Amino acid sequence: MKKTLVVLVFFICSAFLSQKEFFSTPKYWPKPTYDFSKNPIDANKVLLGRVLFYDPILSANNTISCESCHSPFSAFTHIDHSLSHGIHDSIGSRNSPALMNLAWKNSFMWDGAIKHLDMQALAPISHPSEMGSDINSSVIELNKSIKYRKLFYAAFGDSLATGEKTLKALSQFLLTLVSANSKYDQVKNGTHVFSAQEQNGYILFQKNCSSCHVEPLFTNDTFENNGLPVDSFLRDVGRMSISSNADDSLKFKVPTLRNIEYTYPYMHDGRFIKLSEVLNHYTKGIQNSKTLAPQLVKGIMLSANEKVDLISFLLSLSDKEFVFNPEHRYPKIN
Amino acid sequence: MKMKSTFMLLTIILTHFSLMGQGKIVNISFDVLINKSTLQIGKEYNIQQNKISVNVLRFFISNIELYQNENKVFFEESSFHLIDIKEANSKSLSFVLPENIVYNKIKFALGIDSTINVSGVMDGDLDPVHGMYWTWQSGYINFKMEGRCSECPAIKNDFEFHIGGYQYPFNAFQEIVLDLKKNNPIKIKMELFDILGSTDFKTTHRIMQPNKEALDFSNKLKHAFSIQGK
């Protein structure tokens, strides 16, 4: 009897120990917008989503995975590519967004076309220049695979893949991509302090940038025209292409600045490679138009030294633990 | 697998008992017509000097409710039905009503309401694998009709109507109320003759996003429904 009890206690304890925390909200962050009650985080679902994320099985000819354009080492964007390329070497029309802190977003894509994280993956899976497939074909392929049969069974108690389960599992993995341990976060937590240069950069940031790049997520998750001249080849009008509203012309989603060190090139079309180019745009490159963000009408004034300080603050948003987290990488399973 | 079949069997037995005990089954069927006869996929119809054929026809019926005059007496829970003309089973549905309910009207919607559109991924008939969810932007396609019309200035004379949109000012979700002639079975027909006849295929042969054209089309669809029989 006693022996059974000991064994039982051991099993219960080990069950609790193996229950890793996949998602938590830092103290000074707002509540997530994702409704976890409809898709509660579960270790097996996260694993399935992670396997799917790295598997080209979702593309039409088994060549392109989510990771192709969202590499963990660049905070899940397509490093060194102004525009991302997909199946048959076709080139897209926008820079692939970095993936992090997605549980706090209300819409996705540079133009906000997608309203829910669960539905986001449908777009790249179906896009002829990205994965060139469709969710129905992907699900058929998944159901042919013994490996996935096992993973779906472990995650959902049913080996049959469906569109709903596939997309929910992908969401689960994406939700675990929380970046909240940069130097900035450590300063907020009181475990670290800014250097004098970073502190000065932080003050400049709060004065000039924080109305759109709102702390602590460093985005207000809305759409703004930041005065970029229109590319004559792409002629991208941004949000207006979705809303058909002229007030949205040339507006794009305000991106987070977290991990900005790793996510170059910058802007919706990846036109700037260095942070100094970005700051130069804000100080002397802004083009006026009807929809220009009101905060930018007068431009931003920064001296050469101030730019250096501001960049040193922006580098404090790098989260090495996030970028090099082995839990986010290609999963080794049989 | 074994557990699943046991569960299925149990469900069937339980449903059977509950049917015997307190309720009656009401059957609802949807029939799509062209000039009063059932639409046949691929068949060429002559409508207003045009040769028109339909290859794909799928639509969502949701939020089914029954009324006695102005009083709601019944609503179906999780009421979402994808009707595909190619799938005979999808055209009829049934549910169990409490025995003593009296009703003389049916209310249902063509499409999926805005709440469901932004609530994340769903299973069953709402699963995006059915091709009834837009991929390039969020939202269900409420009604999808594809085919050919001799007048279409497009490759193979193709037309494609993907009607959807859940946001103002292009909310194409349509609610329909019909007076019943008979309580059971309820036979609903959708007559497309007037819609196909009044569409100018030279200018309108592709509606693929929420806009004014889609909204107008959904309004026409709303009026295409009626109750079959005397």
In a domain, B59, yes or no: yes
Q: Answer whether residue B77 is part of any domain.
A: yes
Instruction: Provide the pLDDT for residue B100.
Output: 87
Token readout for A106 is: 């209300």
Nearest C-alpha of chain B: how many angstroms from A142? Answer: 13
- Has residue B67 got a pLDDT over 50? yes
Give pLDDT tens digits for A61-93: 888 899 988 999 889 998 778 887 777 777 778
Contacts of A117 in chain B (CB under 8 A): 120
Nearest CA-CA distance, residue A163 and chain B, Å: 5
Cis peptide before B169 (omega within 30 of 0): yes
Per the CB < 8 A criterion, the answer to whether B226 and B187 are in contact is no
Q: How many domains does chain B have?
A: 1
Q: Assess if residue A17 is contained within a domain.
A: no
| Amino acid present at A105 | K
Burial of B215 (0-12, 13-18, 19+ CB in 10 A): middle
Residue of B nearest to A139 (CA): B129
Lowest mean pLDDT among A150-154, A225-229, B16-20: B16-20
B120/A35 touch (CB, cutoff 8 Å), yes or no: yes
Residues A256 and A174 in one domain: no
Subunit contact B123:A136, Cβ cutoff 8 A: no
Query: Residue B222: which H helix or E strand, with range?
Result: helix B212-222
Q: Measure in Å the smallest separation between the Cα of B123 and chain A Cα atoms.
A: 5
Same domain flag for A145 and A228: no
Q: Which of B86, B60, B92, B188 lies closest to B147, judged by CA?
A: B86
Same domain, A84 and A140: yes
Listed residue (A121, A52, A64, A119) closest to A90, CA to CA: A64
Residue range of the domain that includes A92: 25-178
CA of A119 vs chain B CAs: smallest distance (Å): 6
> Is the domain of A157 the same as that of A187?
no
Is A231 at the interface with chain B, CB within 8 A? Answer: no
Same domain (yes/no): A121, A226:
no
What is the mean pLDDT of the segment spanning A95-109? Answer: 95
Give the residue on A whose Cα is nearest the Cα of B114.
Answer: A115
Q: Which domain holds residue B214?
A: 24-227
Q: Does the pLDDT value for residue B63 go beyond 50? A: yes
Do A168 and A199 fall within a single domain?
Answer: no
Domain count, chain A: 2
Q: Is residue A122 part of a domain?
A: yes
In-domain check, residue A15:
no
In a domain, A118, yes or no: yes
Q: Nearest by CB to A114, which of B122, B126, B138?
A: B138
**Percentage of chain A lying above the pLDDT 70 cut:** 94
Q: State the alpha helices, DSSP H only, in chain A.
A: 2-18, 43-53, 66-69, 117-120, 122-126, 135-144, 146-156, 163-175, 183-189, 196-208, 240-243, 275-280, 304-315, 320-323
Task: Name chain A contacts of B136, Cβ cutoff 8 Å.
Answer: 113, 123, 126-127
B72-84: pLDDT as tens digits = 999 999 999 999 9
CB contact under 8 A, B120 and A122: no
Tokens standing for B13?
């037995």
Residues A89 and A223 in one domain: no
Q: Tell me if B11 is assigned to some domain.
A: no
> Would B6 be classed as within a structural domain?
no
Query: Which residues on chain A are in Cβ contact (under 8 Å) with B139?
Result: 115
Q: Per the domain annotation, does A325 fall within a domain?
A: no
Mind listing the pLDDT tens digit for each residue in A145-180? 999 999 999 999 999 999 999 999 999 999 999 999
pLDDT in tens, B211-225: 999 999 999 999 999
What value, to the nearest 5°, has the Cα angle with vertex B199 and ends B197 and B200?
115
Long-range contacts of A202-207 (CB under 8 A, 24+ apart): A202/A313, A202/A316, A204/A302, A204/A306, A204/A309, A204/A310, A204/A313, A205/A310, A205/A313, A205/A314
Least confident of A240-244, A252-256, A263-267, B162-166: A240-244
CB-nearest partner of A164 from B121, B136, B138: B121
pLDDT attached to residue A84? 75
DSSP H or E stretch at residue B67: strand B50-68
Out of A35, A113, A134, closest to residue B136 by CB: A113
Question: Same domain, yes or no, for A193 and A99?
Answer: no
pLDDT score of A259 more than 80: yes
For the complex shown, is ipTM > 0.95? no
Strand, helix or coil for residue B132:
coil
Predicted TM-score (pTM) of the model is 0.86
* Residue among A39, A119, A158 whose CB faces B138 most closely: A119
Nearest to B57 by CA among B43, B47, B76: B43
For residues B131-156, give the mean pLDDT: 92
What secondary structure does DSSP assign to A171-228, as a single string? Answer: HHHHHT-----SHHHHHHHTS----HHHHHHHHHHHHHTTTTS-TTTT--SSEEB--P
Which of A113, A127, A135 comes nearest B128 by C-beta? A135
Q: Which residues of B touch A125 (CB under 8 A)?
A: 135
Q: Give yes or no: residues A135 and A228 share one domain.
A: no
User: pLDDT-derived band of residue B7, with 50, 70 and 90 as boundaries?
Assistant: low
Q: Give A129-143 pLDDT, tens digit per residue.
A: 888 889 999 999 999
Q: Is residue B7 part of a domain?
A: no
Residue A38 and residue A124 share a domain: yes
Residue A30 confidence (pLDDT) above 70: yes
Amino acid sitting at position A216: P
B121 to A168: CB separation less than 8 angstroms, yes or no: yes
Q: Is A329 contained in some domain?
A: no
Give the residue from A178, A202, A236 where a domain finishes: A178
Measured between CA atoms, the residue of chain B closest to residue A166 is B121
Residue B1 has pLDDT above 50, yes or no: no
- Rounded Cα distance between A24 and A76, Å, is 20
Whether A188 and A310 share a structural domain = yes
| CB proximity A163 to B under 8 Å | yes
A235: domain CATH number?
Answer: 1.10.760.10
Calpha distance A215→B203 (Å, rounded): 50
Q: Do the domain assignments include residue A146?
A: yes
Q: Is residue A334 part of a domain?
A: no
Query: Residue A113 gets which letter from DSSP?
Result: -
Q: Both A144 and A189 in a single domain?
A: no
Q: Is A168 on the interface with B (CB under 8 A)?
A: yes
Last residue of a domain, one of A129, A155, A178: A178
